[in-house]
Structure 1
Amino acid sequence: MNDHSNITILKEIAELLNEETEMIPMLRGALHKFLGGTKFDTGWIFFINEKGKPELVAQEHLPGALTYNKCEYLRHGGCWCVSRFRNDELKRASNIIECQRIESAIEGEVGDPEGITHHATVPLQSGQEKFGILNVASKNTIRFSEEELELLESVAFQLGSAIKRILLVNEQQEIALVQERNRLARDLHDSVNQLLFSVTLTSRAGIEMTEDAEVKDTFKEIQNLTQEALNEMRALIWQLRPRGLESGLIDAIKIYAEMLGLKLNVTVSGVLQFPSKVEETLFRISQEALNNIRRHAGVKEAEMFVTVAPTDVLLVIKDEGRGFALDPQAALPSMGLQSIRDRAKAIGGSADWVSELGKGTELLIRLPY
C-alpha cells in the first residue's frame, strides 16, 4: 500500500465525513469506503459508554460466523480490546493477539469465519474525549504492518473528530429545542392562558349578575368548560417547560401529578443517577401516563415504582381505574400510549401494558442507561 493510495483514501473519507450529518450512516459510510480502498476485508465499530458497556453501531463485510443471529458473538461477551479501552490502556492502533469474540464464534460453529481469526483495533477519540473503538481484520492475517496501523490511526482520528462534531451539533439542536419550548410556553402563558382566565372571571361575574336560572346555568357551564381548558393549558405549558426537574426527577413527577389532581404513591429502589436524556424520557413518559390516568381511568390515585438495575431502569405506573381491552393485533388505543412507546424506543428501551376492563392498567417501561 503506497503513500499516494493512503492519501487518496483519507481524502475520500474526509469528504464523506464532512457531508454526513447523521451519526450511524456516517460511520457505516466511512467504514465501507475505508475497506473498499485498503487491503482490510472486514470491520466493526463499538461505541462504549461511561460504564464501559460496548454497543455495536456499525459493521461491514463480516464473515458468516460473526453475522450469526444478528451479530450475537460481537454484541455479547468480553474481549481484550474493550477491556484495554475501559482501563484507558488503548492509546493507539494495535494488533490483537487473540479475540475472545472471534474465538467464541469459531468454536460455536455457527458459520464460516472466512479466514478471520485476528483483528487490529484503534480508539476513537477527540482530544481527551473517548467514544469507542474501530476494529478491522483481513483473511488469514494474524498481524498487520506498521504502515497499516498508521493508516488505521489516521482514519480513527478523522472519525473521532467527525463524531465530536455531530455530538456538538446535536447538543446545539437540543439547546435550540429547549429554547423554542420555553418561548412557546411563555407565549401560551401570556396569551391563551390569560385569556382563559379572563373568561372564567367573566362567567363568574355573569352568574352573580343574573337572576335567571337558565342564564346562570349557561354561565356555570361556560365557567366549568373554561376551567377545564385552563387546566389542560397549564398541563401543556408544564410539559413544554417543566419546573422542578432541577430538584430531582421524582419531585418533578410528584408536582405534576399534584397539578393534575392525582395522588401519586412512589416507591424507589436504587440510586437515581441517569444521563439527562434518560431522565427527561422517564419524566415525559410519566407525564403522559399520568395524563392518561386523569383523562381515562376515572380514579384520583396511582402508584409508581422505579427500580434501578446496573444497566437499565424499570418504571412501573399502575392504577385501579376503568382499564381497557388490549388487542395485540390492533393499533394502540390512544395517541398517548403510542407516544410513550415511541419515546422509550427512541433511546433503545421498551414499553408494555397490562390492562383489563374494570381492573385498571399497569404500564411497564424499561430503559437502558
Structure 2
Amino acid sequence: MLSNELSNIELLKEIAELLNEETEMEKMLQGALQKLLDGTLFETGWIFFIDEKGKQQLIAHENLPNALKQDDCIHLQKDSCWCVSRFQKGELKKASNIIECKRIVNARKMSNEDSGGITHHATVPLQSGQESFGLLNVATPNTIRFSDGELALLESVAFQIGSAIKRILLTRQEQQVALVQERNRLARDLHDSVNQLLFSVTLTARGGIEMTEQPDIKDTFKEIQYLTQEALTEMRALIWQLRPKGLESGIIEGLKGYGDILGLTMTVKVKGVVNLPAIIEETLFRIAQEALNNIRKHSGVLIAELYLTVTSTDVLLVVKDEGCGFHMKEPNKLRSIGLQSMKDRASFVGGTVDWVTGCEKGTEILVRLPY
C-alpha cells in the first residue's frame, strides 16, 4: 500500500511539473493525459471542454480504440450522455464511475472497428474554485468499475489540470490587456506625431496653391495636397484600427464609424441578438475592417453592404460590394496579404472566410465564426 502511495505521489509530481512548464493549452492537456495513462492502470482517456452554453470541444485524447477514433472521434461527440448532462446541470462534483456510457454503446453498435474492450469509463470535472471547464474521462479494457483509490487519484490529477487551465486563461487575459494597452500607446503616438505632420503638410500645400499664379507650381501643390490628404485618411484609418472608437457601443456602431472614416456609404442589416464573446467580436471586427479597406482601395466603388446573422452556435458576416471584383488564376494562392490575414484570423478561432468574386462582378466576403 505504501509503495502504491509513493508511486501516486511521484506521478502527481511529474504531472505538476509538466503543467507548470507548458504554456500552450492543447499541448499541456495532451501531455498530462499521456503521463496519467503511463503511470496508472488507466489505458485510454479523453478531455472535453464544455462552455456555459453547453457546447463541447474534444480537446485532447490518448490511446483511443479504433471504434472511438473513427471519423475524427465522432461517436464521442454526438448524442447525449450521463456525464455531460450532469456536468451541465452542475451536479457532477467529484470523480465517478459511469454505469453505462451511451456514446460508447453507440460506437460499439455503429462501428465495425475494434472497441478494445472499452465498455465503461470514469469521469471527473475539471475545475478551479467555482469555475468549471470540462471533463476528464478515462477507461480501461474489460473494466466496469474503478476503486475508490483510483477515483481519488483521478480527482487529484483533475484538480491540478483545472488549476493549470485557469492559469493559462488568466495569462491570456493579461496578454490581451497588454496588447490593447500597446495598441492604445501606438495609436496615441501616431496621432500626436505622424498624423499632425501630415495635417501640417496639407495646410502648407493649400497655402502654396493660393500664393502662386504659375500653373505648373500650382498643380504641383495640388498633387501634394491630394497625396497628403490620402495619406491622412490612411493614417486615420490605421489609428482607428488600433483603437476603434465606437466599438464599446457594439460591433455594428464600430464598423459604421470605420466606414465613415473611409468615406464609404454603408448598408447594414442584422439578424439575431449581437452578444458575442470578446475574442469573437474582436476577430469579426478586424476581418470586416480589412474587407472594408479592400473595398475602398480596390473595388472602384464607395458603397458597401454588411449582413450580420447571429445563431445559437455561429455568427455569419457577409461584406458585399458591386465593384470591379477580381480573378484568381490560382484558386489556392491568395491574392493579397489582406485576404490571407482574414483567413488566419478566422482560423485562429475555428472559423472560415470565403469569397465569391469575378471581374466586373463585385465581391462578397463570407465569414463564419463559431462561438
What is the TM-score with the length of structure 1 in the denominator?
Answer: 0.99
Residue by residue, what CA displacement relative to the aligned partner does 1:95-145 show, whole Å, maximum 9, x if unpaired?
011112111110012311000111000000100011000000001001110
1:83 & 1:291 partners in 2: Cα distance?
46
Q: Which residue of 1 aligns with 2:288?
A: 286
Alignment partners' CA distance in 1, 2:207 and 2:19 = 65
After superposition, where does 1:271-310 map in structure 2 within 5 Å?
271-310=273-312
SS of residue matched to 1:82: helix
What whole-Å deviation, never above 9, does each CA across 1:206-249 have from its counterpart, x for those lacking one? 11111111000001000100000000000000000111011111
Gaps of 5+ in 2: none
Note the 1:161-240 alignment, pairs <5 A: 161-240=163-242
1:78 aligns with 2:80: yes
Aligned partner of 1:264 in structure 2 is: 266
> Are the equivalent residues in 2 in contact too, given 1:68–1:110 (CA < 8 A)?
no
* Offset at residue 329 of structure 1 (A): 3.4
- Residue type of the alignment partner of 2:146: F
Task: Give distance in 2, aligned partners of 1:132 and 1:109.
Answer: 26
Question: In the TM superposition, what whole-angstrom CA distance separates every residue of 1:140-198 from its partner, at most 9, and x where no partner exists?
Answer: 00111000000000000000000001111111011001100001111111111111111
Q: Deviations over 1:266-292 (max 9, x none)?
A: 111110111011111111111010000
> 2:155 matched to 1:153?
yes
Unpaired segments ≥5 residues, structure 1: none
Give the partner amino acid of 2:359: L
Q: Give the equivalent residue in structure 1 for 2:46.
A: 44
> Residue type matched to 2:27 in 1?
P
Partner amino acid, structure 1, of 2:99 = I
Instruction: List per-residue Cα deviations over 1:280-314 (Å, max 9, x = no partner).
Output: 11111110100000000111111111111111111
What's 1:242 paired with? 244
How many correspondences in the alignment? Answer: 369
- Letter paired with 1:360: G
User: Given the two structures, how large is their TM-score scaled by the length of structure 2?
Assistant: 0.98
Could you tell me which amino acid in structure 2 is paired with residue 41 of structure 1? Answer: E
Structure 2 counterpart of 1:31, one-letter code: L
Measured in 2, the distance between the counterparts of 1:210 and 1:148 equals: 91
Indicate yes or no: 2:321 matched with 1:313: no
CA distance in 2, matches of 1:362, 1:29: 42
Change beyond 3 A, Cα 1:56–1:327: farther
Q: Deviations over 1:54-84 (max 9, x none)?
A: 1000000000001111111123222111111
Contact 1:17–1:30 (Cα < 8 Å) also in 2: yes
Task: Give the Å deviation of 1:327.
Answer: 4.2
Structure 1 segment 65-104 matched on structure 2, within 5 A: 65-104=67-106
Find the aligned partners of 2:309 and 2:90 in 1 and give their Cα distance. 31
Cα shift at 1:351: 0.6
Q: Partner of 1:130 in structure 2?
A: 132
Counterpart for residue 253 of structure 2: 251
- Counterpart secondary structure, 2:26: helix
Alpha-carbon distance between aligned partners in 2 of 1:223 and 1:11, rounded to the nearest angstrom: 68
Equivalent residue number for residue 119 of structure 1: 121
* Percent of aligned pairs with the same amino acid: 67
In 1: Cα distance, 2:6 partner to 2:141 partner: 24
SS in 2 for 1:131: strand
Among residues 10, 20, 23, which one is paired with 1:21 in the alignment? 23
- After superposition, the C-alpha distances for 1:18-50 in whole angstroms (9 at most, x for unaligned) are 111111110000000010000000000000011
Alpha-carbon shift at residue 259 of structure 1 (Å): 1.1
**Deviation (angstroms), 1:257:** 0.6
Q: Distance in 2 between matches of 1:278 and 1:242?
A: 16
Match for 1:324: what amino acid? F
Which of 2, 8, 11 is matched with 1:6 structurally?
Answer: 8
Whole-angstrom CA distance in 2 between matches of 1:302 and 1:135:
49
Distance 1:109 1:30 in 2: 29
